[in-house]
Amino acid sequence: MSNRILITGAAGFLGSHLCDRFIKEGFQVVGMDNLITGDLKNIEHLFPLKNFEFYNHDVSNFVHVAGKLDYILHFASPASPIDYLKIPIQTLKVGSLGTHNLLGLAKEKRARFLIASTSEVYGDPTVHPQPEEYWGNVNPVGPRSVYDEAKRFQEAITMAYHTFHGLETRIVRIFNTYGPRMRLNDGRVLPAFIGQALRGEDLTIFGDGSQTRAFCYVDDLVEGIYRLLMSDYVFPINIGNPNEITMNDFAHEIIKLTGTNQKIVYRPLPQDDPKQRQPDITKAKSLLNWEPKISREEGLKITYDYFKNFTKEELERTKLNKEFFKK
């Protein structure tokens, strides 16, 4: 009998790619999503399959899944500044109540449990690059705290279930990831730049453009998560691509990739926005034998080809709210 896995946030960007991977590995996949930021389009290709089932459910409420479960991946959460500033309470609830509900389900089913944590637990870091031992520099009452603190709590309660109940748990700290199925209007820099380039708009940089990010292609990330789930390592582990780039250089890369000739415009940096973001992946390399394989050039090309197929109407519909750029 094949292994059965529950993936929450299944209709989201990362969740849908994880569904694909576990289907490919021969698992019975149960997808769950309340579609508050997810989109059924991301998983509609899986609906005809015998080994895929889907439940439209908010995991902040009690979660019941009939039958055996071998694994649970908790990926349900708004994950971009636009989303979590718009729905702050739901963001806190899915990280706290949702995680508690799913840990209870994992305990009942004796399932191995993996949570999607984030590089945001490091806040605006004072240590660079960020190793797992760094405790972070987070403003607990700032606008981003609804996401940052929800994820920090997630890690704490997951570890408590491991130490107190002996539950098998895994914690992945995900750094900036990109690829097909991202939402163009989710407020993250990569889809924002590509959307602006495709619409012929100027590219918007917040701050002076000297801040850095390090982008990991989604297939690399999924491979890292798969290896972590199958490992016996219980402490948090960074999965991301350490190849760091400034926002100024990144904007020029996007202009070159899209063959457009946009200007770059600058807006004030939002409060508590991290100036640097780069994973230390020493642990992932030594414990999981994992490192990213797909270069930014290659990954961006695949991502751009995906968005290039959007109709004019879709591009207009995924335009960022002008209010966002006034911040």
**CB neighbour class for 207 (10 Å; exposed up to 12, middle 13-18, buried from 19):** middle
Please name the residues in contact with 250: beta carbons below 8 A apart, sequence gap of 6 or more.
Answer: 189, 190, 193, 213
Distance CA 70, CA 64 (A): 14
Owner of token pair 């006034």: 326
CB atoms closer than 10 angstroms to residue 305: 10
Q: Name the residue type at position 220.
A: D
Which of 71, 84, 147, 217 does the annotation list as catalytic? 147
Distance CA 263, CA 225 (A): 38
Q: Are 53 and 67 in contact (CB under 8 A)?
A: no
Q: Give yes or no: 147 in active site.
A: yes
Three-state secondary structure of 167-236: CCEEEEEECCEECCCCCCCCCCHHHHHHHHHHHCCCEEEECCCCCEEECEEHHHHHHHHHHHHHCCCCCC
Distance CA 152, CA 137 (A): 12
Q: Which residues are catalytically annotated?
A: 147
